[in-house]
A and B are shown apart, each in its own frame.
Chain A
Amino acid sequence: MAFRNYILVCGGTACESSRADQIYQNLIKECKDQGVADEVQVIKTGCFGFCEQGPIVKVLPEDSFYVKVSPKDAHEIIAEHIIKGREVTRLLYDKSESRKHAKVEDIQFYQKQFRIVLRNCGFIDPENIDEYIAREGYEALEKALFEMTGDDIIEELKTAGLRGRGGAGFPTWMKWNFTKQAENDVKYVVCNADEGDPGAYMDRSTLEGDPHSVLEAMTICGKAIGAQKGYIYIRAEYPLAINRLEIAMAQAREYGLLGKNILGSGFDFDIEIRLGAGAFVCGEETALLQSIEGHRGMPQPRPPFPAVKGLWGKPTVINNVETWANIPVIISKGGNWFSKIGTADSKGTKVFALTGKIRNSGLVEVPMGTTLREIVFDIGGGIANGRKFKAVQTGGPSGGVITDADLDTPIDFGSLVRIGSMMGSGGMIVMDEDDCIVDVAKFYLNFTVDESCGKCAPCRIGGRSLCNILEKITLGNGVPEDLEAMATIGKAMRVGSLCALGQTAPNPILSSMKFFGEEYRAHIEDKSCPSGTCKNLVTYSILADKCIGCTACARKCPVGAITGEKKQLHIIDQNTCIKCGVCLETCKFGAVVVQ
C-alpha cells in the first residue's frame, strides 16, 4: 500500500539518546488521534549522519528536513504539515524561502557526499527486511549464487579495486583469493565490528542503519571462498546494533536468505554473533580471532596469516563492517562502476566520523580524493565558536595530526601516509587553538598504554616510557633531551612491536613533534602551555583595567587565593592558587586571564 506521506525518524544511537524513540511513538499516536494513520507511514530509520542537528525527522515526498525535534513537536508536525500541508518552518534546517524548491541533498552538509556504504542509512527501516529488498537488497547475493563462480566474484572485487576499510587498506580481493586457494574443508568468514577507535562510529551506524548489507556481503564471501559459517565480532557496548543484527538475521533466515539451501541454490551459510568485551587490541585481526575462540585477545605473529591459518586454525577472511557494506553494491553494479569513483590509489568512498571542535559533527561519506579542506570547512562548516583551526587527527590513536598546510591534499590511503598520518578506520578529530597538542598526544598515549595487551616488550615498556615523559613535560618538568628520547623510543616501538597497536602507538607523538615542535619547546623551555590547557604551566591573573571589584571571584575561590576590597582591584596570590579556573568562569567582565 502506498502512503501519502512518509515520516522518517532517525533511530541511530545519538538521536535515540535525544529521545528519538519518544518522537517516533508520539508521531504514531498523533497520526491516529488526528485520523491520518491510513495515509501516513512513520518509519524509524538508521543514522542520517547529521548528528549535530539531531534528532532529525524527514517528511517525504516534500523532503522537509526537520532538525533538533523534540517529542512535543509531533503534534504540530502532524497538524500543520500532514493535515494542512504547511511545513513547520521553525523546525526546518534551512528556514529561508529559497529552500522551498531545494532538496535535502542541497544542504551543504550533504552536497559533497556520495553514499555507497551509507546508501540505506536514514532511508529504510533497518528492522524490516522488505525495505532492504525494495532497495535492491539481496540482488547481489542472487547474482553471486546463480550467475557467478567464486573466481568471478573475486575478479569483480579485483576490478573494483576495493581496499580494506579497517585501517591498513589491504586489497580485499587478495584476502579472499588467498583464503579460497587455501585447501581445507572448513573455512570461516568474519566481520570485524570491534570498532574501538575513540571518535569513530561509522561501523556502528552502518550496522544500526543497514544490517542486511553486511549479512548479504558475508554470504557472498562464503560462496566465493567456500565457507559455510560466519561470525560477526561486535563490541558489547553497541546494544542497539547487536539487537538490529539479531532481528536482521532472524528475518533473513525466515526468507531463506541465510541458513540451509539459500534461495534453493544448495548453498548453506549461517552467521553467529560473538561479543567483544572492551579490548581495543581485539580490532587487530589475530587478536580478534583469539577472542572469538574465548581467549585473552593477544595478537599472534604473522605469518601465518588468517587467510591460511585463522579461526580454529582454519582459513579465514576477516573484513571490517565498512568493507562488507561496499560489497553488495560492487557485485550488483560491477567492479568497473566502482573503480571509476575515487583516486588511482584508492577506489570508492570513505566514511568519516567528523567530530571535535567542528560546527557540524556527524558521519560523512565522500569519494576518495576529496580534500580535507572540503570535509572540514565545506561539509563540516568549519570551526565552532569562531575559533581558529589548529589541526585534524586522522587514524585515531594510530594516526597523526594534519595541519593547515596539508589541508588541500586529496585524501586516499597513500596520500595520508605521505603527509604523516594514516586513514585508519575513519575517525577525524578536529582541534582548535584551545587544544594543547602535547595534552592530546598524552591522551592518545594513555589510551594505547591502557589497551596494550602486554605481550611484547617494545609496546608494553616503550608506551609506558613515552607516557611518563609526556606527563613530565605537561607538569613543567621537561628537559630538552626529552624530545630526542621520545623520538628514539618511538622508532624502536615502530620496528620492534608485534602488532599494529604497538607499531603505531608513537605516531601521535612523532607527528605532533614534527608539526608542533614549537609547542613542545614552549612546554619544556619556557614552562608555558600556549593554549592554557596544562594546569601546572599556566598562571591566572586579574587585569587592572577590567576588574571592577565585584568580589565574585574572591567569594568563589575554593582556596581563598584572591584578595581585594569591594570596588577595588583584586589580586590572585600565585603561591596559594591551585589553578582550578573557577575565577575565570565566574568573572563576567573578562578581567581574569590565563597565560
Chain B
Amino acid sequence: MSESNENKFSPELLSFINEWKDKPGNLIMVLHKVQEEQDYISREAADQVAALLDVPLATIWGVVSFYHFFKLTKPGKHNIQICMGTACYLKGAQPLIDELAKQLAIEVNEVTDDGLFSLEAVRCVGCCGLAPVLTVGGEVFGKVTKDQIAGIIAKYK
C-alpha cells in the first residue's frame, strides 16, 4: 500500500471535518479525530487537514508538536503505556520501563521491528490505587511487577 493511500481519510472522517469546518476552535477536535482513525498525525494527514480547514500547515504543525497526545510517528500495533505519575514512579515504574525496554529490545518512543509493540511513558492515568500501572491498547494492568512483564507481552503476540 502506498503512503498516500494509507493516509487517505475515510468518508466518516471527511464528514466530521465538514461538520466542524465552520466552528471556531475546531483544529484540536479535528486532529483528535484524525489520530483516532489513523493512530498518528502523518505529514500527509496534516496537509489534508490544512487544505480542508483552510489553515496554514505551519499552524497545524505548531499545534500537533505542542501537545503530547498527538503522535508524529506511527505507533506499534499494541502501544504499551507505562504510567509515570508520581504514585507509579514511587512504586517502581522506572524498573518496569527498563524491563520492557530490555524484553522488547526498544527504547521509549520506539517501535519493535515487526511493528507489533511500541513503548511510551505517559502522564498519570489516574489509577493511583493500582500503582504501578501500565496499559496495552485500552487494557489496564495494575500493581505490575517485573516478573509479570513477559506474560503481558506474550498475551499480545
Contact = CB atoms under 8 A, between A and B. Distances in A.
Question: Does A pair with B?
Answer: yes
Contacts, number: 137
Interface string B90-101: 110000000000
Contact of B63 (A280, A294, A312, A453): A294
Contacts of B125: 13, 237
Contact of B66 (A198, A296, A355, A431): A296
A424 to B, nearest CB: 12
Given A51-B130, A355-B131, A429 B86 contact: yes
A502 interface: no
Interface stretch (A259-267, A271-279, A301-309, A410-418): A271-279
B75 interface: no
A292 B25 CA distance: 6
A106 interface: no
Nearest to B63: A296
A201 B124 contact: yes
Given A17-B140, A294-B28, A198 B84 contact: yes
B66 A443 contact: no
B11 interface: no
Contacts of B27: 294-295
Contacts of B141: 17
A393 B130 contact: no
Contacts of B67: 276-279, 297
A200 interface: yes
A293 B25 contact: yes
A14 interface: yes
A238 interface: yes
A374 interface: no
Nearest to B143: A18
B38 to A, nearest CB: 15
A16 B142 CA distance: 11
Contact of A275 (B32, B124, B126): B32
Contacts of A274: 25, 28-29
Given A18-B142, A199-B85, A357-B90, A236 B69 contact: yes
Contacts of A444: 86
Interface in B69-103: 69-70, 84-87, 89-91
A94 interface: no
Interface in B27-80: 27-29, 31-32, 62-63, 66-70
Given A277-B69, A293-B24, A443-B86, A355 B32 contact: no
A368 B30 CA distance: 42
Given A199-B85, A297-B66, A297-B67, A17 B90 contact: no
B8 interface: no
A294 B129 contact: no
* Chain B: interface size category: 35 or more
A37 interface: no
B30 to A, nearest CB: 9
B68 A199 contact: no
Contacts of B28: 274-275, 277, 291, 294
B131 A361 contact: yes
A201 B128 contact: yes
Contacts of B108: none
Contacts of B62: 296
B130 A18 contact: yes
B90 A278 contact: no
Nearest to A358: B87
Contacts of B24: 293-294, 312
A62 interface: no
B127 interface: yes
Contacts of A443: 86, 89
B129 A277 contact: no
B121 to A, nearest CB: 10
Most buried by A among B26, B29, B67, B128: B128
B127 A17 contact: yes
Contacts of B85: 198-199
B122 to A, nearest CB: 8
B1 to A, nearest CB: 28
Nearest to A397: B86
A353 interface: yes
A278 B69 contact: yes
Given A196-B123, A280-B123, A293-B24, A435 B90 contact: yes
Nearest to B140: A17
Contacts of A355: 86-87, 128-129, 131
A54 B26 CA distance: 39
B98 to A, nearest CB: 9
A80 B127 CA distance: 31
A530 interface: no
30 contacts: A13-B140, A14-B126, A14-B128, A14-B129, A17-B140, A17-B141, A18-B142, A51-B128, A52-B129, A198-B85, A198-B89, A199-B124, A204-B126, A205-B126, A236-B69, A278-B67, A278-B68, A280-B123, A296-B62, A297-B66, A312-B24, A353-B128, A355-B86, A355-B128, A356-B86, A356-B90, A361-B87, A396-B86, A429-B86, A444-B86
Interface of A: 13-14, 16-18, 51-52, 54, 195-201, 204-205, 236-239, 274-280, 291-297, 312, 353, 355-357, 361-362, 393, 396, 427, 429, 431, 435, 440, 443-444, 453
Given A199-B86, A274-B28, 5 more contacts: A17-B140, A199-B124, A201-B127, A276-B67, A361-B128
